Structure 1
Amino acid sequence: MASSSFSPAGPQVFNGEGYHIWVVKMKTYLQAYDLWEVVNSDVEPEPLRGNPTVAQIRQHADERTKRHKAMSCIQNSVSDVIFTRIIACESPKQAWDKLQEEFQGTERTRQQQLLNLRRDFENLKMKEEETSAFNEARIVEKVIATLPERYEAKISSLEDSRDLSIIFLTELINALYAQEQRRASRLEEHQEGALQARTNTAYKGKKAWRDKPKNDAARREGQTCKHCRRVGHPEEKCWFNPEAVCQYCKKKGHVERVCKSKTKSR
């Protein structure tokens, strides 16, 4: 419920002009007195049930009175000329909708107006006597306004060194093109540097693998055995190693596989 100590000033009387302003002020005014729901919904209060209390009777009467209060607010907020257009309305919602339809139009009429405006815009054509001449400064201004964010530094630099109101379009384009060339060059150098770094890393890894020292067994396999003067086996496994002990004859200087005693016994 609205506070009894708050009395907002009524909206200016609507005389047919500035409806979009009047309707906002009028809606706020009705909300301040808890009357907007009556205008917006237009719902009749439910009838009293049997044996109502005094409080229920009083509340029901207040709800019915709200319709008359809202109607009075609307009627007193319009001029006599506008009042004649809602004089036949029986509820505040009917009066509100009547004013909205006449001065703002229904949703259907607004859509139709929008379509008409769009059609008129699309059919716009330059007449023979019209010209489309633009001065150099206007063209430069338009170009600068459409540039992406990465050109802000260059534009700021130009503003510090030149008067953009007298700069030629070709000069602006050349300055922007030079910046793009430098940017592309830096990007290419960066890519080449990254590629070279990857190549060097791969080469170092390959060289390190190639130069990795061989283990002892691999080195010995490439050496000449001092016992038999042959290659391909380590000296300690040579058949003719003088320190080797034959498992057949139990003598030193050879292994069982080349033992002569074993060959004779066969």
Structure 2
Amino acid sequence: MATNGNTLQPQLPRLTGKNYNQWSIMMKALFGSQDLWEIVEIGYDEPADPTTLNQQQLTTLKENRKKDKKALFFIYQAVDEAIFERISTSATSKEAWSTLNTAYKGEDKVKTIRLQALRGEFELLRMKETEYVEEYFNRVVSISNQLRVNGEELKDQRIIEKILRSMSKKYEHIVVAIEESKDLSELSLESLLGSLQSHELRIKQFESSPPEQAFQMQEFHRGGFRGRGRGRNFRGGGRSQPDHHTRGRTQASNYQVQSNHETSPGNHYERGRYHGRPRGRGRGN
């Protein structure tokens, strides 16, 4: 509230034409805090001839007139300019309030049509995959409040059942746990919100992995780790495969041994003259 000297000026909501339900609830609270709601809802009797009243009746009439003008001033301040034109000729706060109520809340026929639309919207509510629990929870509660304002009998259990059966797939486990472990007729909306948000935090923790683990997984997919117990430069079923440097040195050593063997005096053949298997009567010769 703003302060004007020693008087507190309440912060007034503004009626735009699309927010009548919320606006009317806040205005009722404001009128109640200022002891004005009775004069707005019921009004007061304006005598045809005030001179016939006694002093007490005149005092009461003066107080009622003052309250009524104060309430009417609040209504004037709480509407847009286009809406103000509809109530600018209202003589009392009750008349102005009734005019707005009829225009935006409607009679029984309009109210029935609005209820049908809200019921359909309520049944079609589904949680989006990218939506947070609190965001979806607020959407459901908002539609539920509109249904109640328009006369729908809507218990908290029905709202809870709606939320549980319309959650996204990743909340399936917590939904089943709540349905099996809790009595939905005694469960409050606040407790349900807390349980779902706790599960949401766990999901976020599991989805986020440490940088070291992500690096190891990246190396694994590149081929640095293949098979159980195999390190770098090892492939196959546990048999070590030398790298290209080791393989080059081994080939050179084998070539030198072969050359010495071919040129030795006891060799059966000379290098360059015969490259086949030595002739003999058996393999042991």
Same fold (TM over 0.5): no
Higher relative contact order (CA 8 A, sep 6+): 2
Question: TM-score if structure 2 supplies the norm length?
Answer: 0.37
Larger radius of gyration: 1
